[in-house]
A and B are shown apart, each in its own frame.
Chain A
Amino acid sequence: MWLENGTSTALRLSTLGSTSKEVAPNIGDVALRAAPPRGSVTLDATIDHISDGVRILEQVLPVAPLQLAHLHHLQLKSRLEVLQSWEGIVIDIDEERGEFKARLSDLTNRGGDESEAIFDKRDVGANEIDLLRVGGIFQWLVGYRKHSYGQMERVSAIVFRRLPAWHAEDLARAQSEGEAIAAAFGAD
């Protein structure tokens, strides 16, 4: 699966790869911004290299800093080759430790495996931190981000799904279903 990053900051899904269709509905309209370029130095995977939910784990094909700055100014395209993705549900948040726990379903190898992981809150982008709450849904993507000018990075991206709100009609419908079920079972 490839995710493309164009001149705007929003990610677009391409249809390349067999898993793209399965993953696409969960990405929705989430914005995933490009991380600032880091030049030609190989980076360690530290928290410092996180920007808006994308952590650059390693510069695989580096570009010289000056050249990179120029290219970045042009806002050229990049795309993300996803090696592995999970859907996560936040099940606990530890504010004191600055971390959150999530249950993960494997979207790449759909064998029914579930995992549980603890993440640093700083892995969540500043524009999505309000979506980090118990019951929140996100995707965790691991792969290579390839820029059109040749730079390639190994990255991890946490992308929260912006869920719609419950509307009055939704809740009225649920109440109505509740009453119908209770009536069917002769309860109140």
Chain B
Amino acid sequence: MKAKRLPLLSAPTEAYQRPPAPNEIEVTVIGPGFGEAVLCHIGDNRWFLIDSCVGRGAGESASLSYLADIGVDPVNVFLIIISHWDDDHCRGMANLVECCAKAETAMSQAFVKKDFAAYVATYSSPLTQQARSGVKEIRETLATLIKTGRTTPKLAGPDRRLYGPLASGHGAPVSIWTLAPSDEEYDRFLAWIANEMPAIGETRRVVVPRIRNDLSVVVQVTIGDDAILFGGDLEEEGNPLTGWSAILASAGRPLAPATLFKIPHHGSSTGDHPSVWNQMLSADPLAILAPFRNGKVSLPTTNDVARTLKYTTQAYASTNLRGIAPPPMDRVVQKAIQEVTKSFTTIRPELGLVRARKIAGSNTPWAIELFGGATELRQVR
């Protein structure tokens, strides 16, 4: 018998459990400190999701837990976007795709290229039950899509309208675009994959993480006069053919300035391009990010927070980076850790979420709600 899904928050309140009204737009960013998931309600109980992380139940998609918590049937999810294949963005994705049986998917075409699928198969060998990596999740996700006959994913790329304009009960037409990855990023990624295929006789190893998030999908949604920009994990390197520079240089993207921005790459400086704030966003936009903590890497840094707060006064984080205590351990074990390691950090995230809602077509500002470990960005550290 399947175990009952755990609520996303340990102490859910009545306010948290209230679903959006049919004429309300919602953007929710879930971030447990390692991983992120985004949900967007476009009205009329229609949802699309970006990426996946796990909630309190092992392997359970946090997005599914959230939908269950607010009483939304996963059948109302019409689209799942896989922004890239990093472990922190796709944990629980196979579970999500399986349960949202009516949802289409959108991803980079690289995910269904034979070279990438062969790479995924090569590194998915059951080396160990504990070793997790994005490739296992992607392999299971692709298998689920084939099993359920959903083999025509929408392909994410620059200036590509996936949906729209869709009519809606609230009267504001909805369009969903992808702005990245660029062709250059796509080519680079496939070249890297080819280089990573092992030679015959090479000792097996766990997949080596890709340093740059070449394949990250960026999504822009317009709902009437409202625009929302989901930055994925897109990074910037000052190359006009890649990253935010490529998007800014594009003539085919929607030009409506976004009032809500999901900040890319956990607020790090590598995901920042000042012109995004000047050219793609409205003045003083609502900005949300999901922090990232893994070992010595902790994002956003103090500098990242200061930089972001120069762009906007309305910035929030899905969880905080303070007081993440290691689990209790035997005294002798603790002593050994101190003696043997040069540093030791346990990832014990406090799950939280930022929820923004507004009536579609209204000129009212976004209403912000913070749950779990979520906080204003200025208090994240």
Binding site for B on A (CB under 8 A): 26, 45, 55, 57, 83-84, 87, 89, 91, 99, 101, 103, 105-107, 109, 111-120, 123, 131, 133-137, 142, 154, 156, 161, 163-168, 170-171, 173-175, 177-188
Contact = CB atoms under 8 A, between A and B. Distances in A.
B340 A182 contact: no
Interface string B91-131: 00000000000000000010011111111111001011011
Interface stretch (B230-238, B270-278, B341-349, B355-363): B341-349
A49 B198 CA distance: 37
B342 A187 contact: no
B354 to A, nearest CB: 23
Interface residues of B, number: 60
Contact of B341 (A91, A111, A118): A118
B344 A117 contact: yes
A105 B130 contact: yes
Contacts, number: 175
SS class of chain A's interface: helix, strand, loop or mixed?
mixed
B205 A134 contact: yes
A119 B329 contact: no
A50 to B, nearest CB: 10
Interface of B: 34, 58, 109, 112-122, 125, 127-128, 130-131, 142, 145-146, 151-153, 197-209, 294-296, 326-327, 329-330, 332-333, 335-337, 339-348
**B117, B119, B348, most chain A CB atoms within 10 A:** B117
Nearest to A26: B128
Given A83-B332, A113-B327, A171 B198 contact: yes
A182 B206 contact: no
Nearest to A178: B118
B118 A174 contact: yes
B340 A123 contact: yes
Given A87-B131, A166-B201, A187 B114 contact: yes
B128 A87 contact: yes
Contact of B200 (A89, A106, A107, A167): A167
Contacts of A170: 122, 125
B208 A178 contact: no
B130 A117 contact: no
B344 A115 contact: yes
A178 B190 CA distance: 14
A164 B204 contact: yes
